[in-house]
């Protein structure tokens, strides 16, 4: 498997920024009235804002079409959830362009209890719907695929952790897979929206919940059990705490591996693994 192929399926903490530049004059006339604002967001796409109204994603030419279409299908299927809506799709110089509604609010950096509670409730509602949605894209978070990624790093520490984590992953339905704090917004202390479903695919719902835990429930390197309890209670699950810690370990290993692949610092996640 080539690195380029892996890259365009996207991973948390690996931002591409503006790779392919466009100008307002290249847009359909109805969008030329908006200011085209470049962002540093986006892994498999260049992301612009159209004022405070829309988000424009320009996908690179080697992005699999099934990836784009799966995200669109998912967002168009979700009902009564604070997620972006797809409003348009067209091409510029062969690049697929998708226009989304823009979520208002602020990205948080301090996940206090009431934010964790809200994100747990959101994820439960999302999974209640996504268990009935069919997508055809690759299962990004399965053990076989993680093993392939670890082999690419030639990192013995990652391999040892992989061999030590005995966890059978299920395919409960479509998961977000990347629900870190930078993929949602809050307004007046209320969740205003969750976005970036580029990694959405079939997976284990508890893995999805564990991704939230590794981003929202640690105090530096130490897992905060009271925050985990709030997350699990808001998700309305009675999963055994020891079992859920295995999911947290797997999520930490997954994202530590992807950081190493892209020469980003995965030491923080490995320290968290060590202390669990």
pLDDT in tens, 26-68: 999 999 999 999 987 655 689 999 999 999 999 998 889 999 9
The Cα–Cα gap between 99 and 93 comes to 16
Q: Which domains are present in the chain?
A: 3-101 (3.30.200.20), 113-275 (3.90.1200.10)
pLDDT number for residue 3? 32
The Cα–Cα gap between 79 and 229 comes to 28
Farthest CA pair distance, the chain: 56
Distance of CA 66 to the CA centre of its chain: 17
pLDDT number for residue 53? 97
pLDDT digits (tens, 9 = 90+) for 78-107: 999 999 999 999 999 999 999 999 999 999
The first and second tokens of residue 159, run together, are 């391999």
* Dihedral (Cα; 220, 225, 227, 231), 10-degree rounding: 130
The reported pTM is 0.90
Q: 156 in helix, strand or coil?
A: helix
Distance of CA 182 to the CA centre of its chain: 9
The Cα–Cα gap between 251 and 15 comes to 19
């Amino acid at each position: 498997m080539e690195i380029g192929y892996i890259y365009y399926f996207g991973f948390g903490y690996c931002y591409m920024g503006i790779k392919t530049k466009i100008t307002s004059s290249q847009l359909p006339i109805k969008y030329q009235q908006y200011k085209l604002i470049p962002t540093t967001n986006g892994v498999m796409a260049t992301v612009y804002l159209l004022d405070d109204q829309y988000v424009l994603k320009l996908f690179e030419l080697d992005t699999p079409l099934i990836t784009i279409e799966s995200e669109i299908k998912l967002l168009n299927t979700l009902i009564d959830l604070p997620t972006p809506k797809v409003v348009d799709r067209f091409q510029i110089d062969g690049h697929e362009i998708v226009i989304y509604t823009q979520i208002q609010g602020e990205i948080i950096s301090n996940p206090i209890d009431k934010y964790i509670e809200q994100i747990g409730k959101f994820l439960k509602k999302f999974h209640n719907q996504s268990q009935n949605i069919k997508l055809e894209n690759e299962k990004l978070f399965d053990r076989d695929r993680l093993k392939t990624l670890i082999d690419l790093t030639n990192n013995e520490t990652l391999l040892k952790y992989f061999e030590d984590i005995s966890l059978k992953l299920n395919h409960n339905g479509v998961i977000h897979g990347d629900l870190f704090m930078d993929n949602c917004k809050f307004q007046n202390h209320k969740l205003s929206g969750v976005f970036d479903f580029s990694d959405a695919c079939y997976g284990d719902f508890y893995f999805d919940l564990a991704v939230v835990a590794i981003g929202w429930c640690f105090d530096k390197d130490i897992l905060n059990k009271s925050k985990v309890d709030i997350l699990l209670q808001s998700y309305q699950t009675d999963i055994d705490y020891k079992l859920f810690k295995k999911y947290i370990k797997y999520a930490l290993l997954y994202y530590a591996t992807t950081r190493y692949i892209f020469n980003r610092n995965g030491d923080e996640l490995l320290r968290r693994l060590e202390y669990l």
